[in-house]
Amino acid sequence: MRTAVLVDPRYRDHDPGPHHPERPERIDAVEAMLHDWRGAPIERVRPRLASEGEILAVHAAPLLEAVRATEGKAHVAIDADTHTSARSYETALLAAGGVLELADLVARRDVQNGFAFVRPPGHHATRAQSMGFCLFNNAAAAAERLRAEHGLERIAIVDWDVHHGNGTEAIFYDDPGVLYVSLHQYPFYPGTGAATDLGRGAGTGFNVNVPFSAGVGDLGYALAFQEVIEPVLRQFAPQFVIVSAGFDCHHRDPLGGMEVTEEGFRAMTRSLLSVARDSCEGRLLAILEGGYDLDAIRGSSRAVLEELCRPDPPVEEMLGPAHLFEQLKGILAPHWRL
């Protein structure tokens, strides 16, 4: 089975305005990477529009109506950061629907795994509020569809975007069926994502935040996967892995400060593929979130895609001392064996 990619020129039709970092050229960077692709054969998938019901599975009706009300208007400011253009509503439906289309293919094992290169991104959109460049929460919609349409009971969402995915966290904060794991610069926009935010009620322990100081780079992320994330994922035993793949933790990104390189993204992808192969027949879907340097998007997307296409990932060596994550492991100890 091949790896599938989903991208469409219509994702350029969402235009937040001049000088906005979440710009249409981000899709051009992905298309340039795919045009030069010399790796294993990949399958191209076309998106569809998400239905109203698929959006309402994770969002309140007023949010949907607020985004729909922007249709045909040259410019609407939903908040200080989140702006729309005349075709943003349709583009957001196409982004969510594209993710759902690819999630279906991976869930059915029609393809090996996949990467949905969509915009606008989604992980900041809460049940009731579009924010942080995000209109609809694509990853959350995918998790709900996998449960409703494919009968899956345990979905893991791993979010390595430089910003904490407050929307995804909030939507599943009391839900033990979705394990949400976020690695992010902290404190940073949107101000959420403390290590002690573990979930609520039946969902307590199923929300795992790894808040980083700026500049930890590849080694810090690799250690987090080794010491915390991979052990938690293996105990959770997901039936499907979703990756909120933001490339704004890349060292070139103008908004972040995490100093990750393409090799860091490779290592994270290898770790998640190892879990997916052992736990859920390799069913993994990556979704583009942030990332605002075009060269970084091209290089990082290629690195992740190359790993997705690799038949047998190499075994990772131990990378450093376990004590670096002792405080975080202490917070998680009541819920996971670390």
Indicate the residue type of 333: A
Contacts of 243 (CB under 8 A, 6+ apart): 157, 158, 159, 160, 269, 272, 284, 285, 286, 287
Cα(328)–Cα(223) distance, rounded to whole angstroms?
Answer: 12
Tokens of 113: 């795994």
Q: Which of 174, 92, 101, 181 is nearest to 137 (CA)?
A: 92
pLDDT single digits (tens) 46-92: 999 999 999 999 999 999 999 999 999 999 999 999 999 999 999 99
pLDDT in tens, 82-121: 999 999 999 999 999 999 999 999 999 999 999 999 999 9
**Catalytic residue status for 75:** no
Q: How far apart are CA 246 and CA 290, in angstroms?
A: 4
pLDDT over 90 at 132, yes or no: yes
Phi, psi of 41 (to 5 degrees): -60, 140
Q: Are 172 and 141 in contact (CB under 8 A)?
A: no
DSSP string, 140-170: HHHHHHHHHHH----EEEEE-SSS--HHHHH
Which one of 124, 163, 164, 250 is the catalytic residue?
124
Mean pLDDT (the chain, rounded)? 96
Cα angle for residues 55, 305, 138 (degrees, 5° grid): 10
Domains of the chain: 3-332 (3.40.800.20)
Angle between helices 294-309 and 262-280 in degrees, nearest 10: 30
DSSP type of residue 312: S
